[in-house]
Chains A and B, each alone.
Chain A
Amino acid sequence: MKTTNMMPEDQLDLAQKRDRMQQRVKASLKRRHAQEKRFKGMGMAAVVTALAFVTLLFFTILSKGLPAFWQATLTLQVYFDPEVIRIDPKPEKRSDESEGAFQQRYLAWQTQLGFVNFNRIILDSLAREIPEAPEYQRDALRLVTSGERFALRGLVEKDPSIIGQTLTLDLLADANVDVWMKGNIDRNLPDAQQQLSARTRAWVDELQARGVIKSKFSTALFMNPDSRSSLASAGLAGAFMGSLMMMLIVMFLAVPVGVASAIYLEEFAPKNKLTDLIEVNINNLAAVPSIVFGLLGASVFILWFKMPLSAPLVGGLVLSLMTLPTVIIATRSTLKAIPPSIRQAALGIGASKVQSVFHHVLPLAIPGILTGAILGVAQALGETAPLLLIGMSSFVASVPATPFEQSTALPVQIYLWQGNELRNFFEARTSAAIIVLLALMITLNALAIWLRKKFETRW
């Protein structure tokens, strides 16, 4: 301390100054603390609001959609009456027969099977539970969804030896039966406002009490394609396959092209006006609304290249174009984050430019690239707008086998179900489809996080 040689006035002055300074600091401290508190409070409020919205969203979707995974199902004794199913034995391929001739014989047999009245079989099995069913056929047939007659036909086609046997089978109940059992329609409404006749409703209640109709986990939702003539059997299989094919196309098209162009732009391309222009344009492209890519796809791929309508191939190409900028940007930023010392070290011990990139830089960039690619693909999975424009919003009642066949996609299926007339049934079904799509998204995102954590390197 040097204060000892100071003059007393000086000391006084200094103390005063210190006092004043302390007061000023104190005053501002109070203000700054309040500021911090305010900011923290606002941050917390923002987080709480966001969480509340997400919770609300999830809660409404789950509470609406989860019940749709369980569907009213009748467990019936089905007798495959040979009197009703009068068909020739199933054709077997003979060794002296050409493939075409066999196909023709098989088709003739299928046609014959098509004429069998499977409603008769269903009515007979209903009559075992409800004796008066044959008298009121119309009311009785409202119990079982109309698509089940094709399911029974499928069983016979697969194995004709069941003709003459009695099997215990689960048959899906009609959509309106499901609605009635779940109470999705007001049970106190008068007959004129109900979808099912009074007799059918009484039967449903009776069969439910006896345990013949139960809510069972619905495999139809996952195994069947969409349906409009038999609403209860409408499922997501077709849309799922369509989405899967498009994802594969995006993965095999957008990811390699995107990663390759990012590597070239970041590592090899000279820095000049042209590459600057390209960079600006890629960033702009990433911000282009997806519907524009749909319009582009409709006019270029379908009208110009004459590709098929509603095909996952075209959907995949459009989504690839949409995902490309995302993948390029993600890859470039990952490559940028890799320290130059890695490249310098590689070059320093005599590696060529290509060797330094492919042996040293790229392996370190893999986790980032994968994350970017998976997030890009997940974004493409949830995209609807461009698909509407290339005819993928059509009603498709079959599961596509190749990317050239007509198909829908999961988000489009949600849109289609949302528009179905039978609101009481499809409101829940739509939410169930949303849950399936969300589950897929979460899985993909979790995969991205897991890959990043697994391969992550810290500098």
Chain B
Amino acid sequence: MKFRNTALALAMSAGLAVAAPAMARDTIQIAGSSTVLPFSSIVAEEFGNSFPQFKTPVVGSGGSGGGLRQFCQGVGANTIDIANSSRAIRPNELESCRANGVTEVIEVKFGYDGIVFASRADSGKFALTPKHVFLAGAAQIPQNGQMVANPYTRWSQIDSSLPDQEIVLVIPGSNHGTREVYEEKVVHPGCESFAEVKAMEGEAKTNFCNAIRTDGRVVEIAGDYTETLARLDAQRDALGVFGLSFYDQNRDRLQVATVDDVVPSLETISSGEYPVSRPLYFYIKNAHVGVIPGLLEYAQFFMSEEIGGMGSPLEAAGLIPMGDEERAEVISAVQSRTLMP
């Protein structure tokens, strides 16, 4: 008798578990870039607090690539609604989206972010150029018309103006959108300053420039900036790649390097003077608009002057706001639900 009761209870709990998927979701689900996560979380929280009719959206991380992969898994309540990304979606990602039924995607650009090189406050001061960074991190470098394995072990060997300390470069892993910007805005310009590289063609050139040395002097970090910071805590000589906002909140421990003699700041990045910056995006699944309550409202709230403009909470958190004209364009695109081609 007792046993039958237990069996009944088990059957009931199993039934409950199977009944679950039938329930619709009323909370917006977001995932993606860890650079965008702080901004997205602030907006989500303020959104939940400002609109009593909507629930507070849930924001996950996983890197731009991870977020977009989840985003492209399909349409339905068990998939995410918005992917945060610190780079534009790649054509192959869009293709995989379409193959899985995510045919309608709205792209929203919401601001800019600077990428900075920072070292520990008690280490040497860096005034970098893209060429320095390339020479420090490349697997092979051109020397007298030939490609040789990277011989540099100290920064001062690259350029006498750099501090005399071991080369240890801590860069984001390839799952991060930041890595792509780092390669595109720093490594490539530095790499292409050599005539030998200029002579190379297409893919061979990209592969040559992107190859990083494997003798342990370049450390790839798959996690977030806290992990990069922990590396710097352990190794005084390490130079790390951070987002401007992360550096900004840890100014007491870190000192920032100039790139081409420009100090990264809100002003120099929004004026374009500081070379290493990138736009930040989020992508909305159009099929979920109207099904998951508040999706379009969230996007509009994100783009509003009050949340993402000058003097807003997002700016305080380190986002570089867009100009008024650009903002107006994006807002109208969101309102009309303009899809990606």
Among A186, A302, A310, A394, max chain B CB count under 10 A is at: A394
A445 within 8 A of B: no
Minimum distance in angstroms from B277 CB to a CB of chain A: 18
Interface mask (B37-74 → A, CB under 8 Å = 1, otherwise 0): 11001101110111111011011110000000000010
B214 within 8 A of A: no
Among B2, B50, B56, B60, max chain A CB count under 10 A is at: B60
> Which residues 212-246 of A have a CB within 8 angstroms of B?
227-230
Q: Which residue of B lies closest to A154 (CB)?
A: B49
**B23 in contact with A404 (CB, 8 Å):** yes
B235 within 8 A of A: no
* A contact residues around B52 at 8 Å (CB): 107, 110-111, 114
**B18 in contact with A305 (CB, 8 Å):** yes
Minimum distance in angstroms from B150 CB to a CB of chain A: 32
Minimum distance in angstroms from A43 CB to a CB of chain B: 34
Contacts A303-B78, A406-B29 given: A421-B250 contact, CB under 8 Å? Answer: yes
**B44 in contact with A421 (CB, 8 Å):** no
Q: Which residue of A lies closest to B40 (CB)?
A: A395
**B313 in contact with A394 (CB, 8 Å):** no
**A253 in contact with B45 (CB, 8 Å):** no
Among A309, A358, A398, A422, max chain B CB count under 10 A is at: A309
Q: Which residue of B lies closest to A396 (CB)?
A: B58
**B59 in contact with A394 (CB, 8 Å):** yes
Contacts A193-B252, A423-B253 given: A229-B46 contact, CB under 8 Å? Answer: yes
**A397 in contact with B61 (CB, 8 Å):** no
Give Cα A309–Cα B249 distance, bound, in whole angstroms: 31
**B251 in contact with A192 (CB, 8 Å):** yes
* A contact residues around B229 at 8 Å (CB): 423
Minimum distance in angstroms from B112 CB to a CB of chain A: 18
Interface mask (A358-369 → B, CB under 8 Å = 1, otherwise 0): 100000000000
B225 within 8 A of A: yes
B13 within 8 A of A: yes
Minimum distance in angstroms from B314 CB to a CB of chain A: 9
Q: What is the size category of the interface that chain B forms with chain A?
A: 35 or more
* B contact residues around A110 at 8 Å (CB): 52
Contacts A303-B78, A398-B56, A423-B253 given: A310-B29 contact, CB under 8 Å? Answer: yes
Q: How many A residues, CB 8 Å from partner?
A: 52
**A257 in contact with B10 (CB, 8 Å):** yes
* A contact residues around B61 at 8 Å (CB): 393-394
**B77 in contact with A397 (CB, 8 Å):** no
A418 within 8 A of B: yes
A252 within 8 A of B: yes
* B contact residues around A252 at 8 Å (CB): 9, 13
Minimum distance in angstroms from B187 CB to a CB of chain A: 25
Contacts A309-B78, A419-B224 given: A195-B59 contact, CB under 8 Å? Answer: no
Q: Is the interface of A mostly helix, strand, loop or mixed?
A: loop
Q: Which residue of A lies closest to B229 (CB)?
A: A423
**B60 in contact with A418 (CB, 8 Å):** no
Minimum distance in angstroms from B62 CB to a CB of chain A: 8
Interface mask (A161-191 → B, CB under 8 Å = 1, otherwise 0): 0000000000000000000000001100100
Give Cα A251–Cα B151 distance, bound, in whole angstroms: 60
Contacts A107-B53, A358-B2 given: A307-B20 contact, CB under 8 Å? Answer: yes
Give Cα A110–Cα B49 distance, bound, in whole angstroms: 11
Across the interface, B78 reaches (CB within 8 A) one of A192, A306, A394, A397, namely A306
**B80 in contact with A419 (CB, 8 Å):** no
**A397 in contact with B225 (CB, 8 Å):** no
Minimum distance in angstroms from A221 CB to a CB of chain B: 17
Give Cα A192–Cα B252 distance, bound, in whole angstroms: 9
> Which residues 246-272 of B have a CB within 8 angstroms of A?
246, 249-253
**A308 in contact with B20 (CB, 8 Å):** yes
* A contact residues around B79 at 8 Å (CB): 309
**A391 in contact with B60 (CB, 8 Å):** yes
> Which residues 20-74 of A have a CB within 8 angstroms of B?
none
* B contact residues around A419 at 8 Å (CB): 34, 223-224, 226
**A421 in contact with B73 (CB, 8 Å):** no
* A contact residues around B29 at 8 Å (CB): 309-310, 391, 394, 406
**A306 in contact with B252 (CB, 8 Å):** no
Q: Which residue of B lies closest to A426 (CB)?
A: B226
Give Cα A194–Cα B252 distance, bound, in whole angstroms: 6
> Which residues 126-179 of A have a CB within 8 angstroms of B?
146, 150
B27 within 8 A of A: yes
Q: Which residue of B lies closest to A425 (CB)?
A: B249
> Which residues 303-325 of A have a CB within 8 angstroms of B?
303, 305-311, 313, 317
Give Cα A397–Cα B44 distance, bound, in whole angstroms: 8
B198 within 8 A of A: no
Among B17, B51, B55, B121, max chain A CB count under 10 A is at: B17
* A contact residues around B48 at 8 Å (CB): 397-398
Q: Which residue of A lies closest to B20 (CB)?
A: A307
Give Cα A401–Cα B235 distance, bound, in whole angstroms: 45
Q: Which residue of B lies closest to A179 (CB)?
A: B252
* B contact residues around A193 at 8 Å (CB): 121, 251-252
Minimum distance in angstroms from A182 CB to a CB of chain B: 14
**A256 in contact with B251 (CB, 8 Å):** no
Contacts A308-B20, A397-B41 given: A421-B246 contact, CB under 8 Å? Answer: yes
Minimum distance in angstroms from B263 CB to a CB of chain A: 11
**A404 in contact with B250 (CB, 8 Å):** no
Give Cα A193–Cα B56 distance, bound, in whole angstroms: 34
B146 within 8 A of A: no
A81 within 8 A of B: no
Minimum distance in angstroms from A148 CB to a CB of chain B: 12
**A306 in contact with B76 (CB, 8 Å):** yes
Across the interface, A391 reaches (CB within 8 A) one of B31, B53, B56, B253, namely B31
* B contact residues around A393 at 8 Å (CB): 60-61
Q: Which residue of A lies closest to B57 (CB)?
A: A397
Can you report 12 residue pairs joining A to B where beta carbons are below 8 Å apart? Answer: A110-B52, A111-B51, A185-B252, A189-B252, A193-B251, A195-B252, A253-B13, A256-B10, A260-B6, A317-B17, A395-B58, A419-B223
- 4 tightest Cβ-Cβ pairs between the two chains A and B: A394-B60, A228-B41, A110-B52, A306-B21
Additional pairs, 8, CB under 8 Å, beyond known A394-B61, A396-B58 = A114-B52, A195-B249, A227-B45, A306-B77, A308-B25, A311-B20, A397-B44, A406-B27
Chain B residues within 8 Å of A, Cβ to Cβ: 2-3, 6, 9-10, 13, 17-18, 20-21, 23, 25, 27, 29-31, 34, 37-38, 41-42, 44-46, 48-53, 55-56, 58-61, 73, 76-80, 121, 223-226, 229, 245-246, 249-253, 313
